[in-house]
Amino acid sequence: MSLVGNPLLPGCYPDPSICRVGEDFYLVTSTFEYFPGLPVFHSRDLAGWQQIGHVVDRSDQLDYEGIASSGGLYAPTLRHHDGRFWLICTLVDQQDATRGGNFLMTAEHAAGPWSAPVWLDADGIDPSLFFDDDGRVWVHGTRLAREPQWHDQTEVWVRELDPVAMALVGPEHVVWNGALRDVVWAEAPHLYKVDGTYYLLAAEGGTEFHHAVSVARADAVTGPYVGSRGNPVLTHRHLGRGSEVVGVGHADLVEASDGSWWAVLLGMRPYGGYHYNLGRETFLVPVTWEDGWPVFAPGRGRVTAQVEVPFAGTPRPGPAQATTSGIVAPDDLRWTSLRAPASTFASSTGDGWRLTMLPSSLRDPSTPAFLGVRQQHADVDVRAVVRAAVGPGEEVGLAVRQSEAHHVRLYVTGSGAERSAVAVHRHAGVESTLGQVPLPGDGAVVLAVRARGQEYALLAGVDDGDPLPVATFDGRVLDSVATGGFLGLWVGVYATSNGRPTGTTVHLDRFEYQPTG
């Protein structure tokens, strides 16, 4: 038996979905506008998770160029049936409701390659799949209620899928709109069949402080569903905003080979007040069954810092579980770009990258020359060593990113005696300079971010020496509580000519991510 630490996946890994194949567990999470999309993780014991690939890793699969931050890929569901993995998800463009929708993808192996998407005639978000033991397949999802009785009332619908034609068939059935009256956003539905009874799991209350897990059951897949008298069966909202974990919800169930049941779900860890810079993270709780209903975290009723997993051996956590420190090599699967493959502007070299500067910038909902990783620790040092001959109006820098409208940049500008490091905070689209220091010479530049809780320091130096302070900022100005949206923070290197034609090449010699404390 091992004690498994929560969260399973620290940092912005929200909306987890899990399935088991034999002794192997597989899990995916949302990625919004980041590319590659929908990371796939593997575990043998629910304790150690290794990322093995992404579902969306080719530009010909999906196009989300122009989709603004916190749009993109929402709430995937991963299932395995008849020798194949199935993935259903939503592509959301919040500025253009006619773009995107719900789609299916399949693969022989969870690591890929995954197929091109098949678009379904279904609106709404958070689609899921259920393979019944009679051979029929059912798709279900959430949308705003057609005839709402209150603001932000949603409804869960169920409809059959023809798995050969990959199309929805037959009538649609609206089966649920929440366990509580006036509840908002009854979403993230998942169907299961346990001992001949159908169970509908759903999140309620919105994916923030009032988030909760509720359950209903029925004798037929299309209902009628009756909610548990214990609803919500898991929530932290009654613990207050001072709880170590808040916003618990969006759960998915899995049965282990020993017959035990488990749930993965999202939650947030506030620090420095009610702010959660690391975003919505993936947690684990045990589940038992009593009187025909699931009991989440029995005997405790809440997400705990550690979970006993009887069949887990010595955990072997991977980089995604935030247990590694030092250089982030080019083949590390934590690297992400924005909306398109990094190969469109970058190539690996040694421990680092060669980036082709692009006219697009972090202010644009496009594909800038940006390579970053999730911030997974409240206390962390991030350090980048870059070399470039920066032209007029060009920037090569290190960014702490929330969105196009909200981020902090520390960048190199100018050359020779005019070269300097500048720190800028972009808030709601308006930029202010936080600080500036000279960078003499033309050698390599060291750019660093030092986070200690909500105190962030920006530093810069030359020739791989100890960097000097440029500016500080309060991290609470960047988290999603302050800015809106659904994302945690990313830290990464970028290069932009700010709309001008450019031929500048940037060498990222080394990128280090070092947790402290």
| Catalytic positions | 15, 187
Quote the radius of gyration of the chain (alpha carbons, Å).
23
Distances (CA, A) of 118 to 63, 86, 87, 104, 190: 14, 11, 10, 5, 20
3-state secondary structure 402-455: CCCCCEEEEEEECCHHHCEEEEEEEECCEEEEEEEEECCCCCCEEEEEEEECCE
Please name the residue that has the structure tokens 């993230």: 188
Run of H or E residues at 261: strand 261-268
Q: Find, among 489, 433, 432, 472, the residue nearest to 275 by Cα.
A: 489
At residue 501, φ and ψ (nearest 5 deg) are -60, 145
Query: Alpha-carbon distance 487 to 6, whole Å?
Result: 19
Please name the residue that has the structure tokens 């690591």: 111
Query: Alpha-carbon distance 384 to 190, whole Å?
Result: 42
Q: Find, among 270, 254, 241, 346, the residue nearest to 309 by Cα.
A: 254
- How many residues are present in the chain? 517
At residue 197, φ and ψ (nearest 5 deg) are -110, 140
- The encoded tokens of residue 121 equal 């005639």
CB-based contacts of 428, cutoff 8 Å, min separation 6: 405, 406, 483
14-43: b (≥16 Cβ within 10 Å) or e:
bbbbbbbeeeebbbbbbbbbbbbbbbbbbb
At residue 477, φ and ψ (nearest 5 deg) are -80, -10
